[in-house]
């Protein structure tokens, strides 16, 4: 029985998609004593793992090496190897396509490949973020194609991942895990396995509730960031310092959570999940105009930053076109190597379209694509800083020494007010503050 195998650690586990979500999950399973088969269609990742190399910030090479150490982990790009697994977690990407719309192709492909090898009594758990009702309306029918009955012949559950890469305070072990099976026994089995991994499980009544909860968590952030981004622009127009406003509001001990303005929202989750939601909701009577509008505000921030930089340069006697601009940090947030949907990359694209001579540096990113072309990370040295008309502090990785920067640059445009601790410096201007006295 699967339940017994879960409790005595003899259950074989498969993890499909060994990225930011799947690899730490595989690591947690091996650490708990299970044997894990990892599947990824990216052959480079498979090769790296086989060499004991990590490609995500939350696991180091030693962690990857330890995965293989006890002979309990193997990786492959062939689904056939999953046939013998008792539990299969699906952790593949659910991105946006070129038109900015939800792209379920990778997920449905992974589900269809799983359906090919689906055997009686297997438990399939989907962790990828999806629009509400996807598990029951789109995943279940694909898995049931061969006639196996859910809740009897096989088990299916949805459990959204809430991982926050680079967050040292919250990880898989101390972030409650939402779980909902298609049937009650699907829920129970899924709860059992996550609890064996040391997680605190919260069960909900249906996959749709768990799917919607994940969407709520992330659209909540998108909407609140949009609120403060819009307010920041209005404050700037009126000479009010939004950073001081947010700090002042944050002194209220209840009923308020601080969100900070900036150059936009990036990453694989927040800007993407909002679109999965609005796309899904548009078929109903209500729509989701609030979230749609919030998304538009956040997406337009890169343009606002470029216009503001143009003003700042003009105030310093320079035109944006022809100015040398170095962007520091291109990931979607500080101290990680993930540049998906990064506002800084969008900013570089807009700057180069407006004629700026733009380069970038990021200690974690060797190359980015700018308007379809490769741009390499510049060598970070005094000469590079000295020759810039403006250095844009886009992502304040701890790697950067702000004090040294400020003494080596003619002009710094700080997008996240990270230089506030340095006190007033003539050569530093913060976004939204350039109109303030
Ligand atoms: N990154 C996060 O912080 C985060 C947090 C919560 C939820 N999520 C969600 O989790 C899911 C996975 O995100 P991620 O950040 O781990 O993505 P990722 O791109 O880092 O990793 C996904 C992996 O899946 C592989 N893959 C793609 N198609 C495949 C297929 N058909 N079969 C096997 N492997 C395949 C890719 O090569 C990649 O290595 C997404 O739905 C995402 O929205 C991500």
Q: Is the CB of 91 under 6 A from ligand 1?
A: yes
State percent of the chain over pLDDT 90.
Answer: 88
To the question of domain 2-205 being in CATH 3.40.50.720, the answer is: yes
Q: Write the CB contacts of 199 (distance below 8 Å, at least 6 apart in sequence).
A: 172, 173, 175, 176, 177
Please give the helix or strand (H or E) that residue 218 lies within, else none: helix 207-237
Residue 87: φ, ψ to 5° = -130, 135
**Tens of pLDDT along 142-157?**
999 989 999 999 999 9
For 51-65, letters b (16+ CB in 10 Å) and e give eeebbbebbeeebbe
Greater pLDDT, 165 or 129: 129
**Tens of pLDDT along 296-342?**
999 999 999 999 999 999 999 999 999 999 999 999 999 988 999 99
Task: Specify the pLDDT at position 437.
Answer: 58
In whole angstroms, give the CA distance from residue 191 to residue 180.
9
Compute how many other C-beta atoms are within 10 angstroms of the C-beta atom of residue 328. 26
Task: Specify the pLDDT at position 435.
Answer: 66
Looking at the DSSP bridge assignments, the partners of residue 203 are 179
**If pLDDT is split at 50, 70 and 90, which confidence band does 436 have?**
low
CATH 3.40.50.720 in the chain: give the residue spans: 2-205, 221-430
In whole angstroms, give the CA distance from residue 55 to residue 18.
10
Tell me the CB-side half-sphere exposure of residue 113, using CA atoms within 13 A: 22
Hey, whose CA ends up nearest to atom 7 of ligand 1? 161
**If pLDDT is split at 50, 70 and 90, which confidence band does 71 have?**
confident
Task: Specify the pLDDT at position 93.
Answer: 96
Residue 234: φ, ψ to 5° = -70, -40
**If pLDDT is split at 50, 70 and 90, which confidence band does 168 have?**
confident
**If pLDDT is split at 50, 70 and 90, which confidence band does 422 have?**
confident
In whole angstroms, give the CA distance from residue 9 to residue 71.
15
In whole angstroms, give the CA distance from residue 345 to residue 329.
9
- The CATH number of the structural domain formed by 221-430 is 3.40.50.720
CA of 436 to the centre of ligand 1 (A): 43
Return the best residue to mutate from 93, 114, 178 for the ligand 1 pocket (most ligand atoms within 8 A of CB).
93
Looking at the DSSP bridge assignments, the partners of residue 324 are 357
Measured from the CA of 17, which atom of ligand 1 is nearest?
24
Overall average pLDDT of the 387-406 stretch:
95
């Amino acid at each position: 029985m699967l339940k017994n195998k879960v409790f005595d650690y003899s259950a074989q586990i498969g993890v499909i998609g060994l990225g930011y979500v799947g690899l730490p999950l595989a690591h947690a399973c091996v650490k708990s004593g299970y044997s894990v088969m990892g599947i990824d269609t990216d052959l480079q990742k498979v090769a790296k793992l086989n060499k004991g190399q990590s490609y995500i910030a939350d696991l180091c090479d030693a962690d990857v090496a330890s995965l293989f150490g006890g002979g309990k982990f193997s990786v492959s790009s062939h689904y056939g190897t999953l046939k013998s697994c008792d539990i299969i977690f699906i952790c593949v990407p659910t991105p946006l396509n070129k038109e900015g719309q939800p792209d379920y192709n990778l997920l449905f492909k992974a589900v269809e490949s799983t359906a090919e090898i689906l055997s009686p009594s297997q438990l399939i758990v989907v962790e990828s973020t999806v629009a509400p009702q996807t598990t029951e309306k789109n995943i279940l029918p694909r898995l049931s194609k061969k006639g196996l009955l859910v809740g009897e012949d096989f088990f299916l559950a949805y459990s959204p991942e809430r991982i926050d890469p680079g967050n040292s305070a919250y990880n898989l072990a101390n972030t409650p895990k939402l779980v909902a099976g298609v049937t009650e026994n699907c829920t129970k089995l899924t709860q059992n396995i996550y609890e064996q991994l040391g997680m605190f499980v919260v069960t909900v009544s249906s996959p749709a509730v768990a799917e919607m909860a994940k969407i709520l968590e992330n659209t909540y952030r998108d909407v609140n960031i949009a609120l403060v981004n819009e307010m920041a622009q209005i404050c700037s127009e009126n000479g009010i310092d939004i950073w001081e406003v947010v700090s002042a509001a944050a002194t209220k001990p209840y009923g308020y959570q601080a969100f900070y303005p900036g150059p936009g929202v990036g990453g694989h989750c927040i800007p993407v999940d909002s679109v999965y939601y609005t796309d899904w909701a548009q078929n109903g009577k209500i729509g989701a105009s609030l979230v749609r509008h919030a998304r538009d505000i956040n997406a337009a921030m890169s343009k606002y930053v470029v216009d503001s930089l143009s003003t700042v340069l003009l105030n310093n006697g320079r035109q944006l076109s022809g100015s040398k601009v170095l962007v520091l940090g291109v990931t979607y947030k500080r101290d990680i190597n993930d540049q998906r949907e990064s506002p800084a990359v969008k900013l570089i694209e807009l700057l180069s379209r407006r004629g700026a001579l733009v380069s970038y540096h990021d200690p974690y990113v060797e190359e980015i694509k700018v308007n379809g072309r490769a741009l390499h990370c510049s060598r970070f040295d005094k000469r590079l800083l000295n020759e810039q008309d403006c250095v844009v502090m886009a992502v304040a990785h701890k790697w950067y020494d702000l004090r040294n920067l400020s003494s080596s640059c003619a002009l710094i445009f700080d997008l996240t007010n990270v230089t506030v601790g340095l006190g007033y410096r003539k050569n530093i201007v913060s976004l939204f503050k350039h109109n303030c006295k």
